Amino acid sequence: MISDLFDSPWKVLILAVVILVLFGSKKLPGAARSLGQSMRILKTEIHTLQDDEHPTATTTTTTATVPPPPAQITHQQQVDHLQQQLDELRTQAPAAEAQQTHQAS
């Protein structure tokens, strides 16, 4: 059924006119730009996934604690780890709010 839609150039032209009327000429460049940005993001994500499969010599250090593998985590350990993360976020939130109010002044 869809293949019958593109068998004649007139049908394609009518479809293009309908899309132009529905979206308007002002919105189409923005939509095309958005589509292009999405494609670029998709390509970079694919490349980073491929790079992740081939580990490099550089490693990064993180300050966050890494939980043990899932097979070794008990329910209580998960709860404790999440509670610790919540406590860290609560202590960071007032400092971030103070910094934002200082920047706004």
Domain range list for the chain: 1-57, 68-105
Mean pLDDT computed over 76-87: 86
User: How many Å apart are CA 66 and CA 18, to the nearest integer?
Assistant: 53
Average pLDDT for the chain: 76
Helices (H) and strands (E) counted in the chain, each on its own, are: 4, 0
Q: pTM for the full model?
A: 0.33
User: How many Å apart are CA 23 and CA 31, to the nearest integer?
Assistant: 9
Longest dimension (CA), the chain: 66
- For 7-48, what is each residue's pLDDT tens digit? 788 888 888 888 888 877 777 788 888 888 999 999 999 888
DSSP code per residue over 3-22: HHHTSSHHHHHHHHHHHHHH
